[in-house]
Structure 1
């Protein structure tokens, strides 16, 4: 087994917890860890424990006043009137006890992944609890309190002066990361997501290309609703391969939200488990081609915690750790352990049976091709390096 990959994990990640009925449920991490272990592709030696991010590290992106408010609010009995001005105490981001501690642990986990990769301890590292890409400098948003992706990129810029290629394949636009580096030509943010016409956060349009010296370094491909595997991967392969070749990054950071799956309850894309093997496989290859293997992966969205998330992120880890999985029955022990916990029938196999074809498939595919063509118009050439 390759020891070039590390998984950043702790059951303490489940302390990032809003309430029982909230769609963001970190129990998905327990199921994922158990599925990886049940396949025999995860050993204790592969795991690095997370540590809390310091206030100084959080302040690379977040306003110190916001950090202090999150800390104070997580230790108060009542939501303060000004909480909503920070995006807290809302339906999307309810307040909960010790939310600073739980949130900073996730950020610190992603920073541990960065340190492992940039120090040479590992070529690749995966923090499945990360990917909280909606949080802004002074405001929570979209289930996200601190933005571990943005903090990690700022940390990479500060400590290694690295050119960072950020690839976000969550069904929701990676808005918080985009805006944090909107004028920075050393950070290329790429987001392939469902169009914001009917989906939060409503951004990620083709016209969002960056500002000033960063113009062209924000690339968005808003996919049509009901996009299927073949169209998604056609866009992903062409876009990411060309941008990596032009930008020539020092390190790649991928956000691996898995809510583009047809089962996801919050989105309208129609992909299967097929894309969650292809997405990390290409990122892995490009990392070795351009970055001496330096690849950091984080989780993200994914709200069918039983049928989608464990399989998708197990596939990310299998690709990262050079232990590729083929289709077949899921481990019997895993199915027996978790089926009593849910009314949903767990999928019997790693990959999905073919889904019914979407009636507008040809139209959707052509529309996505045109969107990709327009998105590539102002792609960077890499000559700025």
Structure 2
């Protein structure tokens, strides 16, 4: 099945850059985009530039005092340790120049995707710069300043009055989006993630089900460390199908963090590229079953930036545009261009070797710096319904 789709991208999205050593970087978006171009599956005519979200749009979810603090921080005007109140200036979410503008383009990218789909221009849209699901109403956390998904869902509810199903397969719990709609029966959230017993942000228990009118519209499926493909996919497929049938959404938004892979240095799950073929395929299928194809996909986490994330994210687009994931060899010109810069050997095929978890323990890949980033994130993240 072929469907029209839009790919949101411009160089303005690349300004979201903490520092050279930070694990969250926009190089992943560039690598995925160029991989698709090299595979002849992304045409320039399908690319749309993100708008910059306005302050009024950001304030659909974020507190205006918080927005002003982010603006001041990015201009070097925030006083002393004022950023700690808002979760910035930490090791996980450091202050950087023009951070408000850079973050606003990522949010604007998701709003651009929403309007492209809901105006009827396309059936699907992909914003790999989005998926910043740890942002809270007045606090940054876990590499996320503004929460583009939460803003976009508020925007959909206000402008289009549609029921939204949000599905999050990042290895980290989609806490910011869940708490934003914890009382709202018109927004259903599903998060499949590594249990918070071992991993930031420490939330996402099965008993987090929503409150008041929103009770019964939040779903969490925490999975244990070292979970592999079959178990992950069994949970994902069963839950997504049942919840979609129960909720009957008007539009589906997926957050597609690629950090459940066994190579990822910040998590403990042991999936392979096999799950990143099935994850978008089911979202594509269910969007056509329940929503006349209305599906918006976002990026998110994923910290093996060279081997895993470009292939995983490119498969979302492959499914969006053809209904199928890509198989076979990675284009030689893409490999040649990026191998010199990559710190690891790039895979020659779209799949992992036989899609089998490597025998070398992946935990050895966890660096002291990444460990400190995680500890800092845990220290500064307070789990409130804000």
> TM-score normalized by structure 2?
0.91
Paired residue total: 358
CA offsets 1:14-70 (integer angstroms, 9 cap, x no match): 110000110001111111110000000000110000011000000000000000110
Deviations 1:184-240, CA, capped at 9 Å, x for gaps: 000000000000111000000011110011111110000011111111000000000
State the Cα deviation string for residues 299-350 of structure 1 (Å, max 9, x = none): 0001111001100010000001116344211100000000000220011110
Once residues 2 and 275 of structure 1 are traced to their aligned partners in structure 2, the CA distance between those partners, rounded to angstroms, is: 22
Q: In angstroms, what is the RMSD of aligned CA positions?
A: 1.4
Q: Secondary structure at the match of 2:103?
A: helix
Matched residue, 1:165: 165
Moved over 6 A (4+): none
Pairing of 1:258-273 with structure 2 (within 5 A)? 258-273=258-273
Q: Which residue of 2 aligns with 1:373?
A: none
Contact 1:11/1:30, CA 8 A, preserved across alignment: no
Q: CA deviation at 1:12?
A: 2.2
Q: Is the 8 A contact 1:254 1:296 kept in 2?
A: yes
Distance 1:132 1:142 in 2: 9
- 1:131 alignment counterpart: 131
Matching of residue 244 in structure 1 with residue 244 in structure 2: yes
C-alpha distance in 1 between matches for 2:78 and 2:140: 18
Within 2, Cα distance between the matches of 1:271 and 1:89? 33
Q: What displacement does 1:143 show?
A: 0.1
Aligned equivalents of 1:5, 1:129: Cα separation in 2: 16
Unaligned 5+ segments in structure 1 are 359-385
Output one character per residue of 1:127-176: Cα deviation in whole Å (capped at 9) or x when no partner: 00000000000000000000000001000100111100000000000000
Secondary structure of 1:321's partner? Answer: helix
CA distance in 1, matches of 2:323, 2:285: 14
1:263-283 CA deviation, whole Å, 9 max, x = no partner? Answer: 100000000111111011111
2:378 is matched with none
The TM-score with structure 1 as length reference comes to 0.91
Cα shift at 1:357: 8.4
Question: Counterparts of 1:48 and 1:25 in 2: how far apart (Å)?
Answer: 21
**1:117 maps to what in 2?**
117
Structure 2 contact 272–357 (Cα < 8 Å) conserved: no
**2:295 equivalent to 1:292:** no
Contact 1:92 1:143 in 2 (8 A): yes
Question: In 2, distance between residues paired with 1:278 and 1:326?
Answer: 11
The structure-2 alpha-carbon separation of the partners of 1:84 and 1:325, relative to structure 1 and needing over 3 Å to count, comes to same
